[in-house]
C-alpha cells in the first residue's frame, strides 16, 4: 500500500506484473543462479502456455502434475485425506521437479475437485514448513478462477502462475456458438482476457 496510492494507468512505468518462477537461490549468497529462473510477462497462462510448461526441459527442469481431486465415494473424509496426501506428494516431488502444477482437470461426476485456494494454501505452507518452497514453482490449473479477484486471491495464497482453463475454453465455445466474433482466434481471446485481468490486478 502506498500513500498517496499509485495510479496504475498514469504510473505504469513503475509497475510490472512480470513473474520470475522456478527455484530460487539464497539471496544472502549472490550468484548467477539467482537469475536462473523462468520469466513470464504476467501470471496468467494460456492453455498452450501451460502445455509448454508441462513439457519443459528448460535448464534441465521438469514438471509434475498434482491431481487436486478425489473419488466421490470417499465423501467428506476424503478431503482431509487427499490434502494430506497431496502435501506429502508435493514435498517428495519437490526434490525431483522444479515446477509443480496443481490441477483439478480430472474433476467430474466421479471425482470431486478440491478448492484451488484450499489445496494451494495447504501445499504452499507445507513446503514452507519443510523448507522446500523455494525449490519449486506452484502453478494452478483450475476451473474455479474466472474473475480478477479470484486471481488476486490465488497469488496471495502462493501461486506463481495461473491457468484459468474453464474461462478460456468457455470463451472459445462462445465463438463456436457465434456469440463472439468468429474472427477471434484462441490467441486473440487469451490476449484480451489476460489484458483485462492484468488491468484489474494492477488496479
Average pLDDT over residues 161-170: 95
Is the pLDDT at 8 greater than 80? The verdict is: no
Is the pLDDT at 6 greater than 80? The verdict is: no
Give the fold, CATH level 3, of 19-164.
Answer: TIM Barrel (3.20.20)
CA dihedral sign, ordered 163, 41, 5, 197: negative
The pLDDT, as a whole number, for residue 159 is: 95
Average pLDDT over residues 100-104: 96
User: What is the rounded CA–CA span in Å between residue 142 and residue 106?
Assistant: 10
Q: Quote the Cα angle for 122-143-45, to 5°.
A: 85
The pLDDT, as a whole number, for residue 203 is: 80
Q: If you average pLDDT over every residue of the chain, what do you get? A: 91
* Burial group, residue 16, by CB count within 10 angstroms (0-12, 13-18, 19+): exposed
- Looking at per-residue pLDDT, the higher value among 14 and 127 belongs to 127
Is the pLDDT at 33 greater than 80? The verdict is: no
The pLDDT, as a whole number, for residue 19 is: 87
At 7, the pLDDT band (50, 70, 90 cuts) reads confident
Task: Write down the pTM of the prediction.
Answer: 0.90
Contact yes or no for 63/27 (Cβ under 8 A): no
Q: Quote the Cα angle for 115-191-172, to 5°.
A: 65
> Which are the contacts of 109, defined by CB distance < 8 A and separation ≥ 6?
72
At 1, the pLDDT band (50, 70, 90 cuts) reads low
The pLDDT, as a whole number, for residue 180 is: 85
**pLDDT one-digit tens code per residue, 129-149:** 999 999 999 999 999 999 999
Query: What residue spans define the domains of the chain?
Result: 19-164
The pLDDT, as a whole number, for residue 3 is: 72
Is the pLDDT at 5 greater than 80? The verdict is: no
Amino acid at each position: 500500500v502506498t500513500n498517496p496510492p499509485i495510479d496504475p494507468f498514469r504510473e505504469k512505468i513503475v509497475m510490472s506484473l512480470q513473474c520470475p518462477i522456478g527455484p530460487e537461490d539464497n539471496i544472502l549468497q549472490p550468484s548467477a543462479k539467482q537469475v536462473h529462473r523462468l520469466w513470464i510477462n504476467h501470471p496468467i497462462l494460456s492453455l498452450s502456455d501451460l502445455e509448454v510448461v508441462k513439457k519443459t526441459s528448460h535448464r534441465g527442469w521438469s514438471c509434475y502434475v498434482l491431481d487436486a481431486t478425489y473419488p466421490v465415494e470417499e465423501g467428506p473424509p476424503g478431503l482431509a485425506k487427499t490434502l494430506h496426501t497431496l502435501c506429502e506428494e508435493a514435498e517428495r516431488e519437490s526434490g525431483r521437479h522444479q515446477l509443480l502444477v496443481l490441477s483439478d482437470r480430472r474433476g467430474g461426476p466421479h471425482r470431486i475437485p478440491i478448492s484451488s485456494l484450499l489445496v494451494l494454501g495447504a501445499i504452499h505452507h507445507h513446503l514452507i514448513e519443510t523448507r522446500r518452497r523455494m525449490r519449486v514453482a506452484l502453478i494452478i490449473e483450475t476451473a474455479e478462477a474466472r474473475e480478477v479477484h479470484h486471481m488476486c486471491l490465488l497469488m496471495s495464497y502462493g501461486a506463481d502462475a495461473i491457468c484459468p482453463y474453464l474461462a478460456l475454453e468457455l470463451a472459445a465455445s462462445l465463438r463456436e456458438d457465434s456469440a463472439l466474433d468468429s474472427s477471434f482466434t484462441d490467441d486473440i481471446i487469451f490476449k484480451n482476457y489476460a489484458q483485462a485481468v492484468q488491468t484489474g490486478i494492477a488496479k
